[in-house]
Amino acid sequence: MTLRYIVTSLCLLLCVEKLFGQASSSGRLVFPFLSIESQSNILVTADLSHPKNCPAKYTNVLSNTNLFSLAERTLLDGISEKYKNVTTNSGPAGSILTGFDVRQSSFLGDTDIFSVSCFAYTNIAAKEEMDFHNEGQIVSKFRTQTGDGYDVKLIDGKLFQYQEYKSNLLDGLYVAMKAMPLSDAEKCGSWARFFRGRILGKFFGWDDDGKIVVEAEFKEPFDFVKNQIVKTDLSWAEMPTNTTNSAQSPK
């Protein structure tokens, strides 16, 4: 577990406590990480202050067919193997290094600027950008020419977060694995699905004991990324002035 990850987790906790403090006077349940004013049409039935026991239907394991299809389970099982031997200069099997670029991402008001390794696949029409700048972590953005693919984060070689895209919009599975311990690869900490860039249907969050600490239902498509007050997605942006295919490897 890296220091940056621990600090990030503490910052998330402080933000959630502040959010819940703002809503405590109303007595209603609220969804963490989203602005209070955006939640009027979200049905929240469990939050961090009001957890509940998890029914068997929603047990947070990858083998739960109510949450994951067989194809999704197979895909998630293969993530760690795919990225097992990658480096800043050597990508997954079937890819070649094409250069390096600079990206930026914001978290809690701070902008993080970092280099990514850029790879192209020789057997399919797809590209991949990989970020190695945090010790023990790999974050990767895989896209086909049509914008289909996924973002994935691994910590110490274990799958931590995965989110699917279609036509460059969040679309499909959005899942984060149980944070502690990372060796418990079967259990997830949060789960949702997106459709054409917006979340729809159930969102679940579980604690380390398997209790539901966040349960909400989005009955209409909701712009989750736009309304989050704490960044929970893995996306990053290009720099205004790009340094595509720089001659130096990221540090």
Q: What is the DSSP string of 15-29?
A: HHHHHHHHHGGGT--
Q: Are 227 and 242 spatial neighbours (Cβ–Cβ below 8 Å)?
A: no
List C-alpha distances in Å: 231 to 226, 234, 237, 242: 10, 8, 13, 23
In a domain, 245, yes or no: no
pLDDT of residue 20: 47
CA angle 175, 65, 67 (to 5 degrees): 30
Q: Are 53 and 249 spatial neighbours (Cβ–Cβ below 8 Å)?
A: no
Cis peptide before 181 (omega within 30 of 0): yes
Query: Cα(246)–Cα(224) distance, rounded to whole angstroms?
Result: 34
pLDDT digits (tens, 9 = 90+) for 22-62: 454 456 788 988 888 899 889 999 998 899 999 999 999 99
What tokens were used for 53? Answer: 């026991």
Structure pTM? 0.85
Q: How many residues does the chain have?
A: 251
| Containing structural domain, residue 190 | 3-238
pLDDT of residue 246: 47
In a domain, 249, yes or no: no
pLDDT of residue 248: 53
In a domain, 248, yes or no: no
Greatest distance between any 2 Cα atoms in the chain: 58
pLDDT of residue 36: 87
CB contact burial 208-225 (16+ within 10 A = b; e otherwise): eeeebbbbbebeeebebb
Sheet containing strand 95-107, edge to edge, reads: 42-46, 212-222, 198-206, 188-195, 169-177, 158-166, 149-155, 137-144, 126-131, 110-121, 95-107, 237-238
In a domain, 131, yes or no: yes
Residue ranges of the chain with per-residue pLDDT less than 70: 1-27, 179-185, 241-251
Q: How many Cβ atoms from other residues are within 10 Å of residue 226's Cβ?
A: 11
In a domain, 247, yes or no: no
Q: How many Cβ atoms from other residues are within 10 Å of residue 48's Cβ?
A: 17
How many structural domains does the chain have? 1
